[in-house]
Amino acid sequence: MKKLLFMVLIGTILLSLVLTAGCGGSAVVAKKGDTVKVDYTGTLADGTQFDSSIGKQPLQFTVGAGQMIAGFDAAVLGMKVGEKKTVTIPAAQAYGAVDQSLIFSVERSKLPANINPVVGMKLQMSRTDGSTVVVTVKEINETSVVMDANHELAGKDLTFEITLVAIVAK
């Protein structure tokens, strides 16, 4: 009986060592190509929250695959499961600077009759290649409407509180 108990104990220790060595133990970190799940909250410089996964499913993406803004991707690289960090991502590594060429005026008469534009309204426009782009109404005057096709977070530094929940695939 003692011999059997000893063998089970040794087997358990060896299995534990193999599993720890195979997984890298507590040193497992997110690397390029890993599929990860993160919880995050994004805020602007004034503290305004613009997005969060808290209370929802964690965000899943592949590190380094270009699925996320560059600064967010870089922040997760090297994190350990359970680690929490806060990073501020400059606009250049987020949605870039505001591109003035994406701000344009449209004659009101060219808008569909059923559209009554309001400042802040989001509209979808067709491009010449058939794709669509979301624009935000910035100004309205008697004869025209000023629209902005920049991402709403362009030109803004973003702060993210990120927790690496899991590495789901290596």
24 pLDDT more than 90: no
Three-class SS state of 118: coil
4 pLDDT more than 60: no
124-154 pLDDT, tens per residue? 998 889 999 999 999 999 999 999 999 999 9
> What does pLDDT average to over the chain?
87
What residue has token string 């929490």? 84
Query: pLDDT-derived band of residue 1, with 50, 70 and 90 as boundaries?
Result: very low
29-95+154-169 CATH? 3.10.50.40
32-59 pLDDT, tens per residue? 999 999 999 999 999 999 999 999 999 9
Segments of the chain assigned to CATH 2.40.10.330? 100-148
The CATH number of 100-148 is which of 2.40.160.20, 2.60.120.620, 2.40.10.330, 1.20.140.10?
2.40.10.330
Query: What predicted TM-score, i.e. pTM, was given to this entire model?
Result: 0.75
**Residue 137 CA neighbour count, 13 Å, CB half:** 19
